[in-house]
Amino acid sequence: MRVIIHIGTEKTGSTTIQKFLRTNRRVIGAAGVRHLSCLGRENARALVAYCMSNSRSDVYTRTNGIDDVAKRIRWKRTLCRRLNSELAWLKQSSNTVVISSEHFHSRLKSVEEVKALADLLSPYASKVSVVVYLRRQDKVAVSLFSTRCKETNSSLQILPEASSNVDSYYDYYALLERWSEVFGEEALVIRRFEGPRRGANALLLDFCDAAGLPSDVRYQYPEMFNRGLPGQAQYGLVWFNRIFSVQSGYHIWLKRQLSEYLVACFDGPQLLPARSDAESFLRRYNAGNRRVAERFLSNEQLFSTDFSGYPFSSEPRFNVDEVKQKVLEFCVSKQKNLCVPPLSRDGMLLLAYRVYYDSAPTIKRLIDSVFAR
């Protein structure tokens, strides 16, 4: 049985690929291609957690209550039994199994963790292909900023500072070296992610080619998921996160509504770093990218060196007061359900003053105009 492992990387259309596989499960199933249902409907996030060292944790392990080592071990045993049962059945009924999760890229940080996956699959897999999409690091960072705005990010800094965790995340050579050491270089299928402008169909057709999926069937193509936010929405969400530094479940739900509201109000490009900053950021990873090209791509250049899409200045190119007013209008419309912190006129003024003390007179006028309606 052939096993295809799609490992991302993150911000390269993985969610769209997973939606595609689920949407077309009957079509590809008829051709003998299946996915492991015990790992989740689309993203094999549980398998990633299974492979992670017991000493490490993340959002998934915390959410599922398996941070404790003893609980993690018991959970792994249960999942292992289910995996072995399903793999044994699929070996008899299918010729190909597809496993997809972008978290293979970000969470499996050692050869031992990748080997845990290989050990699980080895009794069933006659051949393993590892499909990986690589995107230029500065463009990944820009896309991640948009994602962080939807979470708890309260900073307008788009490109992260250098650190061991950041540099490990963007080190594609180390990533490919880990996976090739376990599965062999011949197992790697390396593709460049060209970005959402080409559309979902181009990405999905490329994935089908990379994974060797049937080409003589009629697929349904979903739209591109997780598109970037316009700059005004990013700015507004950052401001919301600054006001509500501690967020309850209700605030998280409210922020999703705010995100949809701002996207409906504004249209335009996302926030971008200055061109010089983007160039400087990528230089940190140029040596590793050259090693990828030399070892895995027969010296073919990995990424374009075109930075013309970046502005010379990172300053927002829109009216920030207009964005703040929209956020305040939204909050006022929901204030009856917001108890912590209070969103009375004075409370909003105080919070806004603490966040943007240099713009307090402007903020006061905005708040007055909102409450006067």
Please report the pLDDT score of residue 170 as a whole number.
98
How do residues 242-271 score in pLDDT, each as one tens digit?
Answer: 877 666 677 788 888 999 999 999 998 999
**Selection from 144, 211, 145 nearest residue 9 by Cα:** 144
**Selection from 197, 191, 215 nearest residue 205 by Cα:** 215
Which SS3 state, helix, strand or coil, does residue 358 take?
helix
Q: What is the Cα–Cα distance from 42 to 23, expressed in whole angstroms? A: 10
Assigned token pair, 330: 């939204």
CA–CA distances in Å: residue 14 to residues 17, 51, 113, 214? 5, 19, 21, 19
Please report the pLDDT score of residue 328 as a whole number.
78
Q: pTM of the predicted model, to two decimals?
A: 0.88
Whether 176 and 296 have beta carbons less than 8 Å apart is answered as: yes
Which residue, chain included where needed, has tokens 């950052």?
Answer: 238
Question: What residue type is 15 in one-letter code?
Answer: T
Least confident of 182-191, 235-244, 287-296: 235-244
Q: What is the Cα–Cα distance from 144 to 158, expressed in whole angstroms? A: 8
**C-beta atoms surrounding 251 within 10 Å:** 17
Assigned token pair, 145: 């900023």
Residue 77 has pLDDT above 60, yes or no: yes
Please report the pLDDT score of residue 215 as a whole number.
80
Residue 341 has pLDDT above 60, yes or no: no
